[in-house]
Amino acid sequence: MEKVACRTPAEGRTGVTNIPVWKFDAVRAAILDALRAGAMRYSDLKDAVDARLDLDTKAKLGKLGWHVVTVKLEMEVRGEIERLGVKGPQQIRAVG
C-alpha cells in the first residue's frame, strides 16, 4: 500500500508519520474545500472536515482528529496552507 510521508513544520522536529495515500487525499481535499470560503480557526477544522466526508470514508479512516492534524501539518510544510499571525486562537487559510 502506497503511503504519504507527513512531516511537521515545527523547528527541531524531524519525525515523519506515514499514512495511506487514500487517507491523505481524502482529508486534504476536505481541508481545502473547508478553506475555500476563507480563513478559519484551527479549532473548527475537525468539524468542517467531518461534515465533508461520507460515512463510509469516516468509518475506514479511524481517528478523524489525528488524521486532520497530521495532514494539516504536512500541508503547511508543502506550503498549501498557512497559519495566520493573529492574536488569539490559531487560524489557517489556503495559500494561493
DSSP 7-46: ---STT----EEEEHHHHHHHHHHHHHHGGG--EEGGGHH
Give the pLDDT confidence of 2-28 residue by residue, as tens digits.
999 999 988 888 789 999 999 999 999
pLDDT tens digits, the chain, 96 residues: what are they? 899 999 998 888 878 999 999 999 999 999 999 999 999 999 999 999 999 999 999 999 999 999 999 999 999 999 999 999 889 999 999 998
* The predicted structure's pLDDT at residue 13: 80
State which fold the 3-94 domain adopts: Arc Repressor Mutant, subunit A (1.10.10)
- What's the pTM? 0.94
* The predicted structure's pLDDT at residue 1: 87
| DSSP structure class, residue 79 | T
- Residue boundaries of the structural domains of the chain: 3-94
